[in-house]
Structure 1
Amino acid sequence: MSLISLARRGRVVAVLAGALLLVPVLAEARPGGKGGFGSRGSRTQSAPAPTNTAPNGAQPFQRSATPSQAAPAAGAAAAASQAARPSMARNLMMGVGAGLLGAGLFGMLSGAGFFSGLASLAGMFGFLLQIALIGGAIWLAMRFFRRRSEPQLAGAGAPMPREMDRPQPAGMNTMGRMGAMAGMGGATAAPQTTPIELSGEDFGHFERLLSEVNTAYSNEDEKGLRERVTPEMFGFFDEDLSGNAQKGLVDRVSDVKLLQGDLAEAWREGNLDYATVAMRFSLINALYERASGKVVEGDATVPQEVTEHWTFVRPRGGAWKLSGIQPAA
């Protein structure tokens, strides 16, 4: 092969490698651009009701601190199946015992005695030693596979902040503790939910949060995000912003305008009110290189339209905060 051919192949490989390096970049832009994340309380695993704005509902959460209710049932079913499954060691020992009994009966019927098949005492000890070695190997194998099949402890909580020694936000109250308990498996039965009525003031607050959260995210304003989102959502936003910073990128969002919105669901769980709203809005969004200011994704001048479900939560009598984002299905 000539040097020219090698050089050409090298250029092709370099181009392909560069394209592969850009693949993770093309899914980073915009809050909610990486798929659904956050929580909807006890309704996290269920889809929001369809609306005129989003007639096909919403995509499920891809990142959430609320564990799936199907996991305990699946574990119990697996344990029951394992308990009902015959033991391999037990079956083998039964087979060996049956073989010895058959050999003894054959010796008795042939007139040579029950232990004639073993020829001598040394032969019997050797046979028993082989049985012990086989049994020990089976026991070790069963311990190994049993440990492999045991469930591992899972940390299902929200991502940690960028700085491990950063103090917890002052707003880590009821909503934050509920998310932490869910991540540690502290939640058991789903709480009772009751529908609630919302006012025009509530919908005005949702529209303002749509703009303010995007602005705070674009400006990498941690304080502004903490004031407008739940601790769980702040963890996810912080994780995304940190990922962009490590890649030398910055995500800019501007000109957010609500075009259409419909309430999908509004309900109460204990001391918390939830509302999921389907919103179609326009915005200008682009991902830039920090050093050069070059656009690597999106458009800095042409607006795009997005349809998403935003879920908001508030303690009784408190202010609404963003608790989840789901793209429309």
Structure 2
Amino acid sequence: MAIRHKTLILTFALMLAAGFSADAFARAGSGGSFGSRGSRTFGAPSSTMTAPNGASPFSRSMTSPNQGIFRPGFGASGARGGFFSGGFGRGLLGGLLGAGLIGMLFGHGFGGGLGGGMSFIGLLLQLALLFFLFKFVMSFLRNRTPAMQGSSYDRSPAPGAAPFGGNAQGAGGYGGFAGSASQGSKLDVGPADFSAFEQRLGAVQKAYSDEDMTALRSMTTPEMASYFAEELAESARKGLVNKLSNVAFLQGDLSEAWREAGGDYASVAMRYSLNDAMLDRTTGRVVSGDLATPQEATEIWTFTRFPGGSANDWKLSGIQQAT
């Protein structure tokens, strides 16, 4: 019975590792949830009708919960997160805890994971299992937090209505938030802002498909641009190129909009369709995805700008996958 139990655990870990080490990213943002939401980076966006179950927490962010508000879009690209926010600290902690966890499961004691004969592959399995366990716990905790629901928006609003379910005078009644003053004050966004969010969706995906980093940097914060650059470089290293086309906005609503020291923020849930395929960079052969059949995605995109900026000043600061 014990051997069978250990075999099931190993099989499960292998499945997680296979999903964790996918060949390449596809579409801008599909690599996970990453970026920043200012002082609300570590809080869940409010649920909306487009994304009723909320969003996955950021797995990568340059914002640290142990420091002041980090402004990722404006002159702070050199800032570093805390010990657990990424890089060496998170990797070291994950490796040690993962080794201990699998060591206990396989009967070697908490310190036996690295020396139990599993070698490098075993360590990868341990890290993958710990990663997905962490995501599960965070999702569970997030879903226990009540959130106010926004108002939905279909692609054909009534005459005089603003996009994302707003009204011609603004969208102050959407995306409720109950928090401390340190997390910002409510911000009204209007039709021009919603049009900018929709335009950014298509423009970012096109620039990503064209591997146009100049365009991406003009529409995103330095933090997001750095993540996109990493993804594109990784695809190029593998001899692949991600081709996206026919991006169509389908539905969206405002989750939260607020102003805090240093900037305005707006998080919006968006459901859209697009043709998405990964091609061999040399031959053009489709490796994954489909150039002809559209697929849908639902994500929460957060935008930021200087306080009081115009609709044209919004820059993408974070993407979170809907859960």
Tell me whether 1:48 sits opposite 2:48 in the alignment: no
Q: What secondary structure, in the 3-state scheme, does the structure 2 residue paired with 1:177 have?
A: coil
1:306 matched to 2:306 = no
Q: CA offset at residue 34 of structure 1?
A: 1.1
Going from structure 1 to structure 2, the CA distance change for 1:295 and 1:174 (only over 3 Å counts) comes to closer
AA in 2 matched with 1:63: R
Pick closer, same or farther for the CA change 1:50–1:177 going to 2, 3 Å. same
Q: Which residue of 2 aligns with 1:61?
A: 58
For 1:57 and 1:252, the matched residues in 2 are separated by: 28
- In structure 2, what residue type is equivalent to 1:177? G
Paired letter, 2:27: R
Change in Cα spacing, 1:312 to 1:23, as seen in structure 2 (3 Å) is: closer
Matched, 1:183 2:93: no
Secondary structure, in 3 states, of the residue corresponding to 1:55? coil
Query: Are the equivalent residues in 1 in contact too, given 2:26–2:242 (CA < 8 A)?
Result: yes
Partner of 1:36: 33
Query: What secondary structure is seen at the aligned counterpart in 2 of 1:212?
Result: helix
1:222-301 aligned at under 5 Å gives the runs 222-301=213-292
Q: Secondary structure at the match of 1:33?
A: coil
Segments of structure 1 that go 5 or more residues without pairing to the other structure are: 1-19, 72-156, 158-172
State how far apart, in whole Å, the 1-side matches of 2:273 and 2:265 are: 25
Report the Cα offset of residue 26 of structure 1: 4.2
Paired letter, 1:200: P
SS at match of 2:265: strand
Q: Deviations over 1:126-160 (max 9, x none)?
A: xxxxxxxxxxxxxxxxxxxxxxxxxxxxxxx9xxx
Q: How many Å separate the matches in 1 of 2:81 and 2:74?
A: 11
CA distance in 2, matches of 1:182, 1:274: 21
Alignment of 1:104-253 (within 5 A): 175-178=73-76, 180-181=78-79, 183=81, 191-253=182-244
Q: For residue 292 of structure 2, give the secondary structure of its aligned residue in structure 1.
A: coil
| Contact 1:248–1:289 under 8 Å retained in 2 | yes
1:233 positional shift = 0.3
Cα distance in 2 for partners of 1:322, 1:174 equals: 10
- 1:294 CA drift (Å): 1.1
Cα deviation for residue 183 of structure 1 reads: 3.3
Contact 1:53 1:262 survives alignment (8 Å): yes
What do you get for the CA RMSD once the two structures are aligned? 2.6
Q: Which has the larger radius of gyration?
A: 1
Query: Mind listing any 5+ residue stretches in structure 2 that lack a counterpart?
Result: 1-16, 84-180
Q: Percent identity?
A: 49
Correspondence 1:322 to 2:322: no
Deviations 1:201-221 (A, max 9, x none): 000000000000000000000
8 Å Cα contact 2:72/2:221 also seen in 1: no
- Give the CA deviation at 1:268: 0.5
User: Residues 287 and 22 of structure 1: is their aligned pair in 2 closer, same or farther, counting only changes over 3 Å?
Assistant: farther
Amino acid at match of 1:36: S
Task: Quote the offset at 1:265 in angstroms.
Answer: 0.2
- Relative distance call for 1:193 and 1:178 in structure 2 (3 A) is farther
> What is the number of equivalent residue pairs in this alignment?
206
> Once the 2 structures are TM-superposed, how far is the Cα of residue 291 of structure 1 from its aligned partner?
1.0
- Tell me the distance in 2 between the aligned counterparts of 1:240 and 1:174: 19
Deviations 1:165-192 (A, max 9, x none): xxxxxxxx9834345345379xxxx944
**Which residue is equivalent to 1:120?**
none
Of Structure 1 and Structure 2, the greater helix share is in 1
